[in-house]
A = this chain, B = another copy of it.
Amino acid sequence: MNLKQLAKELNLSISTVSKALDDSHEISEKTKSKVLEAASKHNYTPNPYASGLRKKRSNTIGVIIPEVADNFFSLAINGIQSIAENKGYHLLIYLSHDKYENERRIVEDCANGRVDGVLISISAETISAEHLLRLQKENVPLVFFDRALDDFEAAKVLTNDFESGYLSAKHLIENGCKRPMFLSFSECLTMCENRANGFLAALDDFKISSNEIVPIMYCSRKEEESYKQIQDLCNSNDRPDGIVASVEKLAMQLYLVCQDSAVSIPNDLKVVAFSTVEIAPILNPSLTTITQSAFEMGRVAAENLFKGIESKNFNLNQQVVVIPSKLIKRQSTSRYK
């Protein structure tokens, strides 16, 4: 069923029917109700792509994330969806699986009119903004959330990574750790580097010597490899006595390693993790976390994106919002078990 058929059935012109459905005031009430009735009888709704083609809007936004099976990102999607739903917008979800090449291809797909705007959390491999420049050239509004490209002027929704990194190290030190270590997920991601730098700053302030080696371990992004790395670390002679995991996945692996290797948390090793996992309290032992407001970050990113979409004179690219994370103390960093 389309406009043409509907119009024919009603003995009206296509444009009259279209306007009636649009509740235009140039159409008489009588005609309107006749049209509406026929439309609902046939379950008619306009073809979104035809109307989009004409109006040059897709009512769709692209959400590009590294991974969906991840608490942070799935909660962020919830935040994004809560706004999109209100606006009558649809969500095209794309997964980069932390590969730059995937991300490049996806962004390309978003640059040809498929979406009215893009929300992105970049892959762990992304160091260049070339693919994103393309979006700007095509005037597709863009908002980064959580993982942004540092030297690229665009709207961002971030969290206080440096401060949180600092806090996590401070917390370990205050609970007796002499040789804390930071497990980094990526040396490319500014977000990760900020956390690491905050961590290092705290070590400095608290006079924890790090003369010989930098207490940061860069973990592989391949699960088997990072597991092995963490395993080696935990079984080595100079095992750290405290660890900050820069992302949730590494914390989970660390817990598994400790269980397999009979390393006792928090007795042998204290752990803080950047994580939004709701079940941190029921882990063994319960996990001290730096918890980001994932839903909120998604929500704010979407809100700003829509402002950018809806008003051309809103300076979207200047919008940088920081939403603070919280340190939640639990058993994994307690001084005594």
Binding site for B on A (CB under 8 A): 43, 45-50, 52-53, 58, 60, 68-71, 74-75, 77-78, 81, 90-95, 108-109, 111-114, 134, 137, 252, 255-256, 259, 277-279, 281-286
A277 / chain B contacts, CB cutoff of 8 Å: 279
Among candidates B45, B52, B137, B259, residue contacting A49 with C-beta atoms closer than 8 Å: B52
> A49 contacts B113, CB within 8 Å?
yes
A60 / chain B contacts, CB cutoff of 8 Å: 92
> A43 contacts B90, CB within 8 Å?
no
> A282 contacts B283, CB within 8 Å?
yes
> A69 contacts B74, CB within 8 Å?
yes
**Smallest CB separation, A291 vs chain B (Å):** 14
8 inter-chain pairs at a CB distance below 8 angstroms, sorted by A residue, are: A43-B111, A53-B53, A69-B71, A90-B92, A90-B114, A91-B92, A252-B278, A283-B284
**Smallest CB separation, A135 vs chain B (Å):** 11
Q: How far is the CA of A252 from the CA of B275 in the complex (A)?
A: 17
A134 / chain B contacts, CB cutoff of 8 Å: 43
Residue ID in chain B nearest A58 by CB atoms: B49
Q: How far is the CA of A60 from the CA of B93 in the complex (A)?
A: 11
**Smallest CB separation, A318 vs chain B (Å):** 26
Among candidates B43, B53, B92, B282, residue contacting A92 with C-beta atoms closer than 8 Å: B92
> A259 contacts B281, CB within 8 Å?
yes
Residue ID in chain B nearest A105 by CB atoms: B85
Knowing A74-B68, A77-B68 are in contact, say whether A45-B279 is a contact too (CB < 8 A): no
Residue ID in chain B nearest A282 by CB atoms: B255
**Smallest CB separation, A153 vs chain B (Å):** 21
Q: How far is the CA of A207 from the CA of B284 in the complex (A)?
A: 36
> B259 contacts A112, CB within 8 Å?
no
Knowing A69-B74, A134-B43 are in contact, say whether A48-B282 is a contact too (CB < 8 A): no
A45 / chain B contacts, CB cutoff of 8 Å: 108, 111-112
Q: How far is the CA of A75 from the CA of B68 in the complex (A)?
A: 8
